[in-house]
Amino acid sequence: MLKKKDLFLIFLSAAFIVLSFPKWEWTGFIIVSLIPLFFALQKKTPKQAFWMGWILGYLVSLGAFYWVCHTLQEFGQLPLYLALPIFLIFCTFCNLHLAVFCYVYVKIPLLHLRPLWVPILFTVIEFCFPQVFHWYLGACLYKKLWLIQFAEITGVAGVTFFVVLLNVFIYELIRWIKKDFEIFPKYAFSISLALFLVAGLYSIRTLQTYQETLKRAPTIRAALIQTNVGNLDKLKGSKGYQHAAEKMQDINRTMILNAAADNPNLDLIVLPETAVPGYFTPERPGTQQFMFQLASQVQTPIYFGGYGFERTPEGNPLIYNSTFLVSPYYQVSHTYHKNNLLIFGEYMPFSSWIPQLKDWFPTVGDFAWGKTQPVFTLTKDRRFAPLICFEGLFGSYVRRFVQKGANFLVIVTNDSWFGDTANPHQHLMLHVWRAIENRTPILRVANTGISAFIDLSGKIQSKTKLFEPSILVDNIAVIDHQTFYAKFGNLFMGILILLFVGFVLYSFVSPRHLRHLKDNEM
Contacts (Cβ under 8 Å, ≥6 apart) of 242:
none
**pLDDT at residue 173 is higher than 90:** no
Asked whether residue 262 is domain-assigned, the answer is yes
- Of 55, 83, 109, which marks where a domain is finished? 109
Tell me which H or E stretch contains 416: none
Query: Are 268 and 338 contained in the same domain?
Result: yes
DSSP string of 332-382, one letter each residue? EEEEEE-SSPPBTTTB-TTTTT-THHHHH-TTS--PPPP---PPEEEETTE
Query: Over 90: is that where the pLDDT of 115 sits?
Result: no
DSSP letter (8 states) at residue 408: E
Return the percentage of the chain with pLDDT > 70, whole number. 90
519, part of any domain? no
pLDDT class of 520 with cuts at 50, 70, 90: very low
Confidence class of residue 516 from pLDDT cuts 50, 70 and 90?
very low
Whole-number mean pLDDT of the chain?
Answer: 89
Answer whether residue 131 shows pLDDT above 90.
no
Residues 472 and 352 reside in one and the same domain: yes
Residue 521's pLDDT is what? 47
Which of 127-141, 250-264, 352-366 has the highest average model confidence (pLDDT)?
Answer: 250-264
- For residues 250 and 386, state if they share a domain: yes
96 and 194 part of one domain: no
Please give the angle made by the CA atoms of 109, 113 and 117, to the nearest 5 degrees: 70
pLDDT of residue 519: 42
124 and 103 assigned to the same domain:
no
Across 411-439, average pLDDT: 94
Model-level pTM?
Answer: 0.91
pLDDT for residue 184 is more than 60: yes
Could you give the number of structural domains in the chain? Answer: 3
Determine if the peptide bond prior to 450 is cis (ω within 30°). yes
Residue 306 domain-assigned (yes or no): yes
Q: Are 238 and 383 part of one and the same domain? A: yes
Q: Is residue 513 over pLDDT 90?
A: no
Q: Per-residue pLDDT tens for 400-414? A: 999 999 999 999 999
Q: Is residue 520 part of a domain?
A: no
Mean pLDDT along residues 178-197: 78
Range of the domain at 7: 1-109
Q: What is the pLDDT, as a whole number, of residue 517? A: 42
- The answer to the question of residue 85 being in a domain is yes
285 and 403 co-located in one domain: yes
Q: What is the DSSP letter of 279?
A: B
Q: What is the pLDDT of residues 493-502, one digit of tens each?
A: 999 999 999 9
Tally Cβ neighbours within 10 Å of residue 471: 19
Average pLDDT over residues 143-161: 96
The domain that contains 407 carries what CATH number?
3.60.110.10
- Does residue 522 fall inside a structural domain? no
Average pLDDT (36-41) is 97
Together in a domain, 395 and 459: yes
User: Residues 373-396: pLDDT tens digits?
Assistant: 999 999 989 999 999 998 999 999
Are 12 and 47 part of one and the same domain? yes
Residue type, 264: P
DSSP state of 421: S
| Whether residue 501 is found in the same domain as residue 379 | no
> What is residue 287's predicted lDDT score, i.e. its pLDDT?
87
372 lies in the same domain as 299: yes
pLDDT at 191: 78
Inside any domain, residue 33: yes
DSSP 143: T
Same domain, 471 and 492: no
Please give the Cα distance from 307 to 391 (Å, whole number). Answer: 17
**Which pLDDT belongs to residue 348?**
65
What is the percentage of the chain residues whose pLDDT exceeds 90?
A: 68
Summarize pLDDT for 433-481 with one digit per residue, the tens.
999 999 999 999 999 989 999 999 999 999 999 999 999 999 999 999 9
Q: Which of the listed residues 85, 109, 133 is the one where a domain comes to its end?
A: 109
Boundary of a domain, candidates 109, 138, 162:
109
Residue 521 maps to a domain: no
What integer pLDDT is reported at residue 306 of this predicted model?
A: 93
pLDDT bucket at 190, cuts 50 / 70 / 90 = confident
**188 pLDDT higher than 90:** no
Q: Label residue 437 exposed, middle or buried (CB < 10 Å: 0-12, 13-18, 19+).
A: buried
